[in-house]
């Protein structure tokens, strides 16, 4: 009978020690310094590491596409705008298209071999680049930028997304 009593007291002591250690372990997260008992505190992870940060001040319109698809879309829209002079697309795409088209016309106004090669690397149609380099210097001689115009139109019927027409001035 004494043996059972000894076992019960030993179990009670062990349980008491475990509860004390568990409470110290939980409290360690709130203590500013290390515990004096030698129990290591859990590593404090950076709370911002799991969050997606906001894009403050980022100028590039991502258009909901990965970088390679966005670049291909802008290249094809630039080619078609230079070819036809006016295209209808979503308003966000039209506003994103202004910069590359203005850059291609600026390259055409420069007219150097390096500028021609840069335009050939971006625009898909070689003959279109040659025609642009022939016509752009006299057409846009008095203009220093702002070669395109974006006009809002009615929203698209299927999904009500804002539409616009981008055209060369």
Given this model, what pLDDT does residue 43 score? 56
**DSSP codes of every residue in 21-39:** HHHHHHHGGG-SS--TTSP
Taking alpha carbons only, the member of 108, 77, 71, 103 closest to residue 90 is 77
Overall pTM surpassing 0.75 (yes/no)? no
Q: What does the DSSP 8-state code read for residue 33?
A: S
Q: Which two tokens stand for residue 117?
A: 């090669």
Query: Taking a C-beta distance cutoff of 8 angstroms, is the pair 88, 153 a contact?
Result: yes
Name the β-bridge partners of 88: 165
Question: What order of strands is seen across the sheet that includes strand 148-152?
Answer: 86-90, 163-168, 148-152
**What are the Cα distances from residue 36, in Å, to 14, 23, 41, 44, 100?**
21, 14, 11, 18, 63
Phi and psi at residue 84, to the nearest 5°:
-100, -20
Given this model, what pLDDT does residue 167 score? 98
Q: Which residues of the chain have pLDDT under 50?
A: 35
Separation between Cα atoms, residue 110 and residue 133, nearest integer Å: 9
Given this model, what pLDDT does residue 27 score? 54
Given this model, what pLDDT does residue 46 score? 57
């Amino acid at each position: 009978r004494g043996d059972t009593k000894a076992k019960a007291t030993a179990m009670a002591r062990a349980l008491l020690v475990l509860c004390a250690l568990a409470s110290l372990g939980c409290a360690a997260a709130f203590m500013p310094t290390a515990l004096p008992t030698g129990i290591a505190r859990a590593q404090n992870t950076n709370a911002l590491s799991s969050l997606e940060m906001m894009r403050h001040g980022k100028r590039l319109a991502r258009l909901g596409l990965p970088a390679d698809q966005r670049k291909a879309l802008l290249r094809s829209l630039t080619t078609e705008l230079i070819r036809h002079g006016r295209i209808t697309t979503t308003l966000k795409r039209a506003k994103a298209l202004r910069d590359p088209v203005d850059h291609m016309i600026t390259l055409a106004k420069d007219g150097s071999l390096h500028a021609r090669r840069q335009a050939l690397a971006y625009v898909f149609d070689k003959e279109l680049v040659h025609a642009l380099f022939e016509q752009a210097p006299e057409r846009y001689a008095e203009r220093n930028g702002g070669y395109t115009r974006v006009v809002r139109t009615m929203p698209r019927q299927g999904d009500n997304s804002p539409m616009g027409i981008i055209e060369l001035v």
